[in-house]
Amino acid sequence: MKPTLLRLRGRLAITASILALLAACGPTAEPVTPPPPAPPELPAAPAPKAENPIEKGDPQRIGEDVKRLASDELAGRGTGDAGAQQAAEHVEKRFRELGLEPFGDADGSGKGFKQKFSARVGAKVEAPTVSLAKKGQKAAKTPAAADVITAEGAQTGEAKGEVVFVGHGVTATAASWDDYAGKEIAGKVALIVDGAPKPESGGKNAEALRDFKSVRYKLRTAREHKAVAAIVVAAGEELPAAPENASGMGIPAVVIKRSAAKALFPEIKWDDAAVSSSKAAAKPKALAGTELSVATRLEPTFADAWNVVARLPARAGSKTAEEYVVVGAHYDHLGKGGTSHSRAPGSREIHHGADDNASGTALLLDVARRFSKLAEKPARNVVFIAFGAEELGTLGSKHWVEHPPMPIGTVTAMINADMVGRMRDRTLVVDGTGTAAAWPELVNTANAGLSLTLKLGAEGFGASDHASFTAARVPVAFLFTGVHDDYHKPSDTADKVDVGGIDLIATLAARLTQAVADRPERLAFVEAPAAQDPHKGGGGGGRGFRASLGSIPDYAWQGKGVKLTGVRPDAPAARAGLQAGDIIVKLDKHEITNVHDYVFALGDLEPGREITVEVERDGKRVALKIIPAPGR
Instruction: Give residue-wise pLDDT tens across range 44-65.
Output: 655 555 689 999 999 999 999 9
In terms of Cα–Cα distance, which of 566, 559, 567, 631 is closest to 599? 631
At 199-244, the pLDDT tens digits run 877 666 777 888 889 999 999 999 999 999 999 999 999 999 999 8
CA distance 193 to 274: 11
For 280-317, give the secondary structure using H, E and C.
CCCCCEEEEEEEEEEEECEEEEEEEEEEEEEEECCCCC
Q: Does domain 84-123+301-518 have CATH number 3.40.630.10?
A: yes
CA distance 188 to 113: 55
Q: Coil, helix or strand for 254?
A: strand
CA distance 169 to 20: 136
Beta carbons of 605 and 588 less than 8 angstroms apart: yes
Q: In the CATH scheme, what architecture does the domain 547-630 have?
A: Roll (2.30)
At 257-289, the pLDDT tens digits run 999 999 999 999 999 888 887 888 989 999 999
Q: Is the peptide bond preceding residue 357 cis, with omega within 30 degrees of 0?
A: yes
CA distance 563 to 283: 37
Domain ranges of the chain: 84-123+301-518, 127-296, 547-630
DSSP state letters, 143-210: --GGGEEEPTTPPSEEEEEEEEE-TT--EEGGGTEETTTT---TTSEEEEESS----TT-HHHHHHHG
- Rounded to an integer, the average pLDDT of 175-201 is 91
Q: Each residue of 152-185: b (16+ CB within 10 Å) or e?
A: bbbbbbebbbbbbbbbbbbbbeebebbbbeeeeb
Q: Each residue of 224-256: b (16+ CB within 10 Å) or e?
A: bbebbbbbbbbeeeebbebbebbbbbbbbbbbb
In terms of Cα–Cα distance, which of 467, 400, 401 is closest to 431? 467
In terms of Cα–Cα distance, which of 356, 332, 324, 329 is closest to 343? 356
DSSP state letters, 349-363: S----IIIIIIHHHH
The reply to whether 547-630 shares the fold of 84-123+301-518 is no
pLDDT at 29 over 70: no
CA distance 485 to 14: 115
Q: What per-residue confidence (pLDDT) applies to 107?
A: 53
- Rounded to an integer, the average pLDDT of 22-49 is 50
Q: Which amino acid is at 143?
A: P
Q: What per-residue confidence (pLDDT) applies to 535?
A: 37
Q: What per-residue confidence (pLDDT) applies to 538?
A: 37
**DSSP H helices in 79-161:** 82-97
- Rounded to an integer, the average pLDDT of 382-389 is 98
H or E element at residue 16: helix 3-25
Average of per-residue pLDDT values in the chain: 89
Cα–Cα distances (Å) from 275 to 92, 197, 262, 447, in that order, read: 58, 9, 12, 61
CA distance 324 to 379: 9
Q: Is the dihedral angle over the CA atoms 380, 384, 389, 393 positive or is it negative?
A: positive
CA distance 515 to 513: 5
In terms of Cα–Cα distance, which of 152, 207, 153, 149 is closest to 177? 207
Beta carbons of 331 and 87 less than 8 angstroms apart: yes
pLDDT at 1 over 70: no
Per-residue pLDDT band for 106 (boundaries 50, 70, 90) equals low
pLDDT at 334 over 80: yes
CA distance 535 to 582: 27
CATH class as words, domain 127-296: alpha beta
Cα–Cα distances (Å) from 146 to 260, 299, 348, in that order, read: 10, 21, 21
Question: Which of 186-195, 301-310, 533-542 has the lowest average pLDDT?
Answer: 533-542
What is the chain's percent helix, strand, coil content, to nearest 5? 30, 25, 50
Non-local (6+) Cβ contacts of 109 within 8 A are: none
> Interhelix angle for 82-97 vs 360-372, to 10°?
20
Radius of gyration from C-alpha coordinates of the chain: 37
Q: Coil, helix or strand for 261?
A: helix
CA distance 471 to 567: 9
**DSSP H helices in 426-498:** 439-446, 466-471
- Rounded to an integer, the average pLDDT of 362-371 is 98
Cα–Cα distances (Å) from 126 to 155, 230, 237, 314, 449, in that order, read: 12, 17, 21, 53, 60
Beta carbons of 567 and 552 less than 8 angstroms apart: yes
Q: Strand 148-150's sheet: what is its strand order?
A: 129-134, 285-296, 157-165, 189-193, 229-233, 253-256, 148-150
At 437-460, the pLDDT tens digits run 999 999 999 999 999 999 999 989
CA distance 156 to 126: 10
> Interhelix angle for 82-97 vs 59-69, to 10°?
160
